[in-house]
Structure 1
Amino acid sequence: MSTLLNIIRSQWERREQIFTLAMFDLRKQGRGTVLGPVWLFAKPVVYIAVFWFALEIGLRSGSGSSNGAPYLLWLMGGLVPWFYIQTMLGTGCSVLGRFKYLVNKIKFPIAGIPTIFALAEMVIHLGMVLLLLVVYFLFGQPLDAYLLQIPVAIVLMFVFFYMFSFTASLLSAVSKDFKNLITTLSTPLFWLSGIIFNVYDLGIQWLQVILMFNPITFIATLFRYAVYDKMWIWENPMAIIGFAVVFIAMMVAMVVVYKRTYEEVPDVI
């Protein structure tokens, strides 16, 4: 517990610097281009359009919900959080190497470095959430209490994948094999996490139970319950239990890995 409190305290004490560095990193991504910030959202928007055309128009596999919500909202409910998660799985697992000058020269708290990256990417994610809500209202969907699940999903996603990024970046710093493992698993996770298929339509009970322990599936489910299915997440208690178990396990793993590697990491980066 003392280690966890130390991780939180070190970031709270540097909160202004963390926010400033996050905004600097965000601006750096669009530097040197005419359109600037537009490119931060261009790729996700293109991906959404291509998947929508391929699945609903091409394969005709999409259909609206019983309450009139279009298939596009269901698709965006999975893809919008996935874009953030994909970045945290990819670049996020080597974020200490990305900001190694903070470790070696400035002696910045290691625990705060993944937060810098996570905050910068969260700004892009919030822009995509805004786009999702624009599409939601353009299709005439109601302003209701179910939408409150979106900020809950955002907070849970931010905290969980911060812990994952921090843990993975520590392990990646001491072992390149771990980084290669995460990179290899990124694409399979997309196809196996219910991003472009409904896990509840599988008809295989044991497989659905396993998928409930996948945090990516849980986050996508929260988004879809808010904008498409119009359900509350507690109506699916197995999903809550599965995410809670993985969340606690991830927190324990982060604390244990940090405690064992934080002295070694500055020497190997």
Structure 2
Amino acid sequence: MLKLLMSQEMNSRIKLIYNLAQNDFKKKFKGSYFGIFWAFANPLITILLYWFVFQVGFRSGVTTSGAPFVVWLICGMIPWFYFAEAFANATLSFTEYSFLVKKVVFKISILPLVKILSSFFIHLFFLLFLLIILIIYGIYPSIFWLQVVYYLAGMVVLLIGVSFITSSIVPFFRDMNQIVSIIVQIGFWLTPIVWSLDITPAKYQFLFKLNPFYYIAEGYRDCFLNKVWFWEKPFETLYFWIITFGFLLVGGLMYKKLKPHFADVL
């Protein structure tokens, strides 16, 4: 009986998160003339700009892995778009939904998850876009493509950890939102997304690998281009999960400690 009640509660919570995420996604573009079109237009334009600058301007034709540069670029940028948008939005989850935070009976711990799921809808579209581009360039489905689910799960867990840290701080320190924006900008250029790690001296490459998102970006490329399993990189995999669970632990502790004071400052 207890298991049944717990199962029903879990199902109702998942349904609530999904419904809130769906409403949040629609609300972003409510009132604009082109509506949801902007959710997909901005990332597409950004990809085209970087493709033009690096492939046409700098004449980056083929990467060291042998893949066309545009495909290599998209494999790294698509997960970054999701991470950057979800991180920024989840950081503001408690302040944006302050009316729910003040309700004693509402489980506010789901709010960062709502924002992460809301951004995920766009990511699904771009994953489909990536698959179409791959096929156009003659790269056809293989069993390695399935492990994108693993890297996506890892990215979501990482997002939950870091967003619980920042979203718990924002109600007390509103400048955290601007700090997150700066972190996202710096993180984009410090991660080999539009540039290859091979251009840096070998003795400094490990510094860039300390960035947990490096594991995700390279993971997407391993799925679709390099045909490498994640267990073939045991040390990088272990490091990523240690860091990720570290963020998760710190985020959970900060949320638990600061939550009782949210209603007082919002």
TM over 0.5: yes
Q: Give 1:14's aligned residue.
A: 13
1:82-123: CA deviation from partner (whole Å, max 9, x where unpaired): 111111332321221111121124742121001111111000
Q: Do the aligned partners of 1:89 and 1:183 also contact (CA within 8 Å) in 2? A: no
TM-score (normalizing by structure 1): 0.88
Query: Does structure 1 retain, via aligned residues, the 8 Å contact 2:17–2:114?
Result: yes
* CA separation of 1:10 and 1:98: change in aligned 2, threshold 3 A: farther
Secondary structure of the corresponding residue to residue 221 of structure 1: helix
Change (3 A) 1:171 1:194: same
Q: Provide the residue aligned with 1:140 in structure 2.
A: 138
- List structure 1 runs of 4+ shifted beyond 4 angstroms: 9-13
Gaps of 5+ in 1: 1-8
**Correspondence list, 1:14-53, <5 A:** 14-53=13-52
Identity of aligned residues (%): 28
Q: Following the alignment from structure 2 to structure 1, what is the Cα–Cα distance between the partners of residues 45 and 214? A: 22
Q: Mark the runs of 5 or more structure 2 residues left unpaired by the alignment.
A: 1-7
CA–CA separation in structure 2 for the residues paired with 1:148 and 1:203: 33
Q: SS where residue 108 of structure 1 aligns?
A: coil
Q: Which residue of 1 aligns with 2:226?
A: 229
Q: Deviations over 1:5-61 (max 9, x none)?
A: xxxx98765221211111011111232244432221000011001101100111113
SS at match of 1:173: coil
| CA–CA distance in structure 1, aligned partners of residues 159 and 235 of structure 2 | 21
Q: Which residue of 2 aligns with 1:185?
A: 183
The CA deviation at 1:267 is 1.6
Is 1:239 equivalent to 2:236 in the alignment? yes
Opposite residue 44 of structure 2, the aligned amino acid is V
For residue 254 of structure 2, the aligned residue among 249, 254, 257 is 257
Q: 2:151, 2:216 within 8 Å by CA — same for their partners in 1?
A: yes
Q: Contact between 1:173 and 1:268, CA under 8 Å: does it hold in 2?
A: yes
Under a length normalisation based on structure 2, what TM-score does the superposition of the two structures give? 0.89
Seen in structure 2, the aligned counterparts of structure 1 residues 168 and 10 have a Cα distance that, compared at 3 Å, is: farther
Instruction: Report Cα offsets for 1:162-182 as digits up to 9, x if no partner.
Output: 221122100121223433332
RMSD, aligned CA:
2.1
Residue matched to 1:166: 164
One-letter identity of the residue aligned with 1:219: I
Q: Is the 8 A contact 1:10 1:111 kept in 2?
A: no
CA contact (8 A) 1:173 1:265 kept: yes
Cα distance, 1:254–1:190 mapped onto 2, change above 3 Å: same
Asked whether the 8 Å contact 2:230–2:237 carries over to 1, the reply is yes
1:11 to 1:30, Cα distance in 2 relative to 1, 3 A = farther
Matched residue type, 2:212: P
